Amino acid sequence: MSSIATLHSTSSTISVSFPLTELPETAQVVLCERPRLINVTHQIPFACTLIDRTGQASSTGPNAAPTLSNGAGSPANRRSSFAAPRHLAASSPPLESDNTTTTPDGVNGVNGLSGGGGKIDGDCILDPRRGHSAMYSGILSLGKDYETVQIGWVGEIADQDGYVVPSKNLTEAHKQNLKDRLWQKEKVVPIFLEDSRAAGHYEGYCKTVLWPLFHYLLWDEATDGRQEKNNWDDYVFVNQQFADAIVEQYQPGDVVWIHDYHLLLVPHMLRQRLPSAAIGVFIHAPFPSSEIFRCLPKRVEVLNGLLGANQIGFQTYSYARHFISCCTRVNGYESTPRGVDAMGSTVWVGTFPIGIDAERVERQRKASGVLPKMEAIRKTYKGKRIIVGRDKLDQAKGVQQKLQAFEKFLNDYPDMQGQVVLIQVTSPPLVENPKLEAKISELVAHINGTYGSLNFTPVHHYHQHIDRDEYYALLSVADVGLITSVRDGMNTTSLEYIMCQKENHGPLILSEFTGTAGSLGGAMMVNPWDYQGVARVIYDALNLTEEDKIARHSQLHKHVSAHTAQFWAKNFISELILNVGTWDQSAPTPYLDQSVIIEKYNSAKKRLLMFDYDGTLTPIRKTPGAAVPQEHMLKALTALANDPNNVVWVISGRDQKALEEWLGEVENLGFSAEHGSFMRQPGSKKWVNLTESLDMSWKSDVIEIFTYYTERTQGSFIEHKRSSLTWHYRMADPEFGQFQAKECQNHLENAVLSKLPVEILVGKKNLEVRPTIVNKGEIVKRLMIQHPDAEFVLCAGDDKTDEDMFRALAGNGGAAAQRRESLNANNQAALEPHTDVLVAATAAKIAQATLQHSLGKAPLISLDTKNQHGPGSNGSGDGSNSHLKPPAPFGVATPQQPSIPGSVVSAESVVSAESVVNVDSVVSVGSVVSVGSISHLANEHFSITIGHALKKTLANWHVTSPEELIRVIGIVSGVTDL
């Protein structure tokens, strides 16, 4: 499987493949008044145990024949750490933290379960799943305000003896029973995966590729890539299974919340099938800088997968900043500190630090079984100062650095020898690391052998799971908490330590590389790689005054109590609903209707066609000289120009030499070079300099500024033209190039624009300075005056310089006045000017209307143009009751809206009654909606932008690439079959 998401239609068996290297388009999100939440996690919050031993599901155990390569049914295949003990009489659940946002005690208390007690439902037992308690507690709390559904992989299913049941042994009856029980009890939707797929997804791609990368641990093994490819295929497949399950449960108006790095592609897959869904993603793990992330072979696919969401949340500001930087540097998307501009939609990026369920921890630390264990620990270590560490044994947790720093502490402060003990608890990871385990054992033995004695052991290392009561007892009696993670998403152990120190007020030593470091200002921060620095802080912590300890703990406890898991979940969902409710995206521009343009083209007796060059007739290239025309484009353009009924122009920013070299052989083709500075009429070889009388002395000042930034921006260069200067930074570092461009623009505005008649044009990876009166729009106005009898007008472009053409075509300026006079001479209606004031007024009106529409309150605007009234009227057209409702989905016609995309409606608040006449044939002016009066036009205008539907433009149609436009040109010219 390549990087293709296979999309299964919900209404047919047809599947559509969409590459993950491309971004999906987002439609306007419409929420219900009380939206339902679909929470999507890698695993459901329950571990499932089958108690029916009569079927295949129980055919495992010590004597069963192995069915998997790792020995299914053997003791090694027992589910050792995913679930709490089933029986209430058993000890409380052992401790484990599966990733960056888990807490050691498991999900106790979730769904009303206490201790490890499970729910026996027919032939299965549902136990709270160990780990991830902060996440599950936050999700559970949302049920107070919303109806919630949870989707996740069912995980490993065990039989009564604790042996994992192979997926192939599960009967359909067992699966259906689990589905029914989980839905009836908690509205949980389980996903069943084959063992090989689940292993390739989780142990394969997630744990061997993504997890190390996100924790700044680059791979050090050379392979032939086959295993990585198989794991990637499994990752894509499993993500698709999750997307299918979400689509099956989705109802219009739902909010979808996807969690963590196991499901990074789901937002992209989901957006393809649910363009108007509200999708949020929260990454619990750290997110690396772009220099690390760019090492990932599937970096483009992963980033695009996430950008299918409306909002992406991270634990800290630095992780959010890293993600935005990756989108800019790796994928080349424009961004702001608040988000990423993806396909015209703003994907909001925010910081939402997770907390813990403070009430649950407070309740559990006071449980009856905790106090006796506290007394036992105090008795065992009587007279000793206790430093506590609790981590999973993996490289990111910094256990090795902690032990080395503690050894440095004992060496530098010999008076502390025999007075201080380090109790280090390490839980086994899901993927064992024998080398690290051996290294830790050697360090512990070395420290104890060097600084210990027959009656004193400085380091007590317990590589095992401990139960909940022992864990809280250990945190409560500690004098110092020591966390030295070298990279961690959040580390909620630190938060639980703070809750348990309510009476003792023990200080917390925290690595600055944990996610909680930015929130816990009262902790004592350390760099885990600075062993001497950590040793010094340990000594300081042990010698803090009581007043200082109380002050620090009070600050920490206040923060933890306020910023809980419930607060985190509510804050994220509230922000997501707010962001999608205040629709900031551009209004969609309809895709070019070929049947309409062909019909209008064929029926017109005279046609005016105007094309930009770069990005319109040819794809954008990194170097200007590489944008040579393609043969099939030249063939189609030649056919258009040879038609005596056509007037064809290429209006480009290129200089005369480039246009003549590439397009000079096309007869009857008109040219405009350097953004309207020069013109060459069709059939002529003479160029007319429209800027000949202009003062070009400003160039020396601009060249000096451009040269300054070129010398300081690697990969940038200056393009010299007769009437303009362009600074290109396409080959520079994307983020630094954009920064330098803004600095250069500010410099130019202060030093040049204030005193000279020039303007700055911000293009695609370039800045251009040109005379104020020179732009492509002026050329369009000239051509419209020269050809007032053109019945069909087409204008195509792709960037900001071409918006001048679209604006001129809409009727702004002298050309429109000339055409109005021509039409009035034939007793036709006048065309209302398209001014910036009208655009601004309508943009504000649309913003208000879309907000109302998202709440389902906006009535459709009437198209009865004979009874429109201005502001303050009391007639049926009262502006107070008129709202511009966003257009219906393309291809869906309503009685209130013409079925042809691009039809114009008038805005009562800005149109006078006298200027309104009957509608015959009109088109819209771009995504902001034309606000000119509805008039009878003898001409058909087609302004086409190259790009996605949500691109901010004044054009009334769009195609997604130059190839699509060239195909349309070929069809209308007769050189390409329909």
Phi, psi of 412 (to 5 degrees): -80, -25
- Which helix or strand (DSSP H or E) is residue 240 part of? helix 226-249
Whether 385 contacts 377, CB under 8 Å:
no
Contact yes or no for 206/235 (Cβ under 8 A): yes
**CA-based nearest residue to 650, from 805, 808, 812:** 805
Q: How many residues does the chain have?
A: 978
Contact 710, 716 (CB under 8 A): yes
DSSP codes of every residue in 470-530: HHHHHHHH-SEEEE--SS-S--THHHHHHHHTTTT---EEEETTSGGGGT-TTSEEE-TT-
- Strand order of the β-sheet with 119-121 is 46-50, 124-128, 119-121
Q: Whose structure tokens read 């819209």?
A: 924
Nearest to 724, CA basis, from 706, 739, 742, 710: 706
d(CA 263, CA 270): 11
The helix-helix angle for 468-477 and 493-500 (nearest 10°) equals 70
Residue recorded with tokens 């793990």: 285
Which residues belong to the active site? 612
Give the per-residue SS3 of 645-706. CEEEEEECCCCHHHHHHHHCCCCCEEEEECCCCEEECCCCCCCEECCCCCCCCHHHHHHHHH
Q: Taking each helix axis as running N to C, give the angle between helix 962-973 and helix 631-642, from 0 to 180 degrees, rounded to the nearest 10.
A: 40
Q: How many degrees, rounded to 5, is the angle at CA 919 between CA 913 and CA 925?
A: 90
Q: How far apart are CA 758 and CA 769, in angstroms?
A: 7
Question: What is Dmax (Cα atoms) for the chain?
Answer: 112
718: β partners? 727
Query: Quick one: which of 174, 190, 218, 180 has its CA closest to 49?
Result: 174
Continuous segment of H or E residues that includes residue 282 = strand 278-282
End-to-end Cα, the chain, rounded Å: 33
Q: Is the Cβ–Cβ distance between 780 and 605 less than 8 Å?
A: no
* C-alpha–C-alpha distance, residues 957 and 595, integer Å: 13
Tokens of 908: 């009562």
Q: What token pair was written down for 645?
A: 């009924």
- Strands of 11-88, DSSP E: 15-19, 37-43, 46-50
Sign of the CA dihedral with 596 first, then 599, 605, and 608 last: positive
Please give the Cα distance from 549 to 427 (Å, whole number): 29
By 3-state DSSP, what share of the chain in percent is helix, strand and coil, each rounded to 5?
40, 20, 45
Count Cβ atoms below 10 Å from residue 715 Cβ, excluding itself: 14
**492: closest CA among 465, 474, 504, 510?**
510
For the chain, how many helices (H) and strands (E)?
28, 32
- Alpha helices of 142-194 — where are they, by DSSP H? 172-186
